[in-house]
Amino acid sequence: MQQNAVVLVGRILLSIIFIMSGFSKLTDAGSTAGMIANAGLPAATALAYLAGLFELIGGLVILVGFQTRIAAYLLAAFCVFTAFVFHSGPINVPTFSPEANGMLSMFNQIMMMKNITIAGGFLVLAAFGPGSISVDARRGLPANVRSA
């Protein structure tokens, strides 16, 4: 039981950032749409809302442990995608000082590593499942095939 409680806490911790970020994108998609447009992707506002919906729903299904493995693989891929598309390069705002741009570049690198690290957490969750304190377990799926 202790191991399953730890898995539940892990799911809660992994889900919080996505629930909060998804809700934020859905209530104010403007800054996310700007980042998407700056990355050269089309339909930035629509993609911002889609990302928000994906993050919110993905976070909620991880939180309750429903279709956990599928959601964990999808969120891991999302984290790696966003790490490389939005956080892999240096920041250079022309009106900022070199020091400010250096600090922003350092923060961007930290964001990239955070996303890659979270992806690793989701891969572990996908490999080992949501534990017994989950919707998947309540549905009666054996531990080794839950959400597979």
Within a domain: 144:
no
Within a domain: 145:
no
Task: Supply the pTM of this predicted model.
Answer: 0.90
Amino acid 147: pLDDT: 43
Range of the domain at 73: 2-138
Within a domain: 6:
yes
Amino acid 140: pLDDT: 79
Q: Is the pLDDT of residue 145 over 80?
A: no
Q: Which residue has the tokens 């309540």?
A: 138
Q: Is the pLDDT of residue 144 over 80?
A: no
- Percentage with pLDDT > 90 across the chain: 88
How many independent structural domains does the chain possess? 1
Q: Is the pLDDT of residue 27 over 60?
A: yes
